[in-house]
Chain A
Amino acid sequence: MNFELLEKGHRFPPVSFVLDEAGVSQYLEAVEDAALPALCRDEGQAWAPPMAVAALALRGLMEAMGLPPGAVHASQEFEFRRPVAVGERLASRAWLAHRSQRSGWLALAVEMEATAEAGEAVLAGRASVLIPQ
């Protein structure tokens, strides 16, 4: 993908993903968060850590964009609209909000939204990434 040719508003291919029990366990182990496991269970329901949902949504976005090696994260916004159950299927959509060039880097701002199967938004965000030129 030639990022220098992308127009503002360009929509990246949507991505579907599920955060299952194994994925949650792997995430909790990686981030060493001792408080989360107990809080993510409520009356028999297992909930996905919101930042794990965000990480997977972002991963899908990065894959859809085909970012080159060396691209770095410059800023990030997330708004968690509601909890996500473990095993719930989500769809993530993203579009280009801004593109500029500075000091040998291409700066892209991408807005994204993850929705549940019924169409309800569970996560919204905006990521800024820098791509070396």
Chain B
Amino acid sequence: MRPAKSSSETWAVGRELPSLSKALTQEKIDAYARASGDFNPIHVDPAFAAGTFFGGTIAHGMLLLAYISEMLTAAFGRAWLSGGRLKVRFKGVARPGDTLTVRGRIERAPDEGRRLVAAVECVNQEGQVLVAGDAEVHFDA
């Protein structure tokens, strides 16, 4: 997979990345557990999860990162797939029934725009930030 040839000129500092929304269900969490092999009962066992601090099942953090990655793929294409960097904190949990929105904004364009750093986050339907951090992509000179 080659790095993207498209320059970062189309991504000015301050520009918003196209956001995306996902309706989270237990079925989607279960599907992610099968795909990732992560069957932690906090994600897939409602009876177990009901007795925990969270009071019910929660989505895998990595599923939320997959949604953030989808936004970055849509925005930057192969530049993201070929060598990106992602650094996030999980600030809240996503539960079945939540509507999640992933969004981002270009914060910096170092190295004469050959790199882009975007603030990214995932919020629920109440605006609560569940994931926040930054992503970096590199473009060819």
Contacts and interface: CB of A to CB of B under 8 A. Distances in A.
B129 interface: no
Interface string B66-101: 110110011001101111111111100100000000
Contact of A83 (B1, B67, B77): B1
Contacts of A30: 28, 31-32, 34-36, 63, 66
Nearest to B89: A75
B43 to A, nearest CB: 10
B37 interface: yes
A49 B82 CA distance: 10
Contacts of A79: 85
B22 A29 contact: no
Contacts, number: 130
Interface in A29-56: 29-33, 35-36, 39-40, 42, 45, 47, 49-52, 54-56
A79 to B, nearest CB: 5
B84 A80 contact: yes
Nearest to A31: B66
Interface residues of B, number: 43
Nearest to A59: B37
Interface string B3-41: 000000000000000000010000010011011111011
Interface in A63-84: 63, 67, 69-83
Nearest to B86: A78
Nearest to B66: A31
Interface of A: 23, 26-27, 29-33, 35-36, 39-40, 42, 45, 47, 49-52, 54-56, 58-59, 62-63, 67, 69-83, 132
24 contacts: A27-B36, A31-B66, A31-B67, A32-B28, A33-B73, A36-B70, A39-B77, A45-B1, A51-B65, A51-B66, A55-B38, A69-B48, A70-B40, A70-B53, A72-B90, A73-B62, A76-B65, A77-B85, A77-B86, A77-B87, A80-B85, A81-B83, A82-B82, A83-B83
Interface of B: 1-2, 22, 28, 31-32, 34-38, 40-42, 48, 52-53, 58, 60-63, 65-67, 69-70, 73-74, 77-78, 80-90, 93
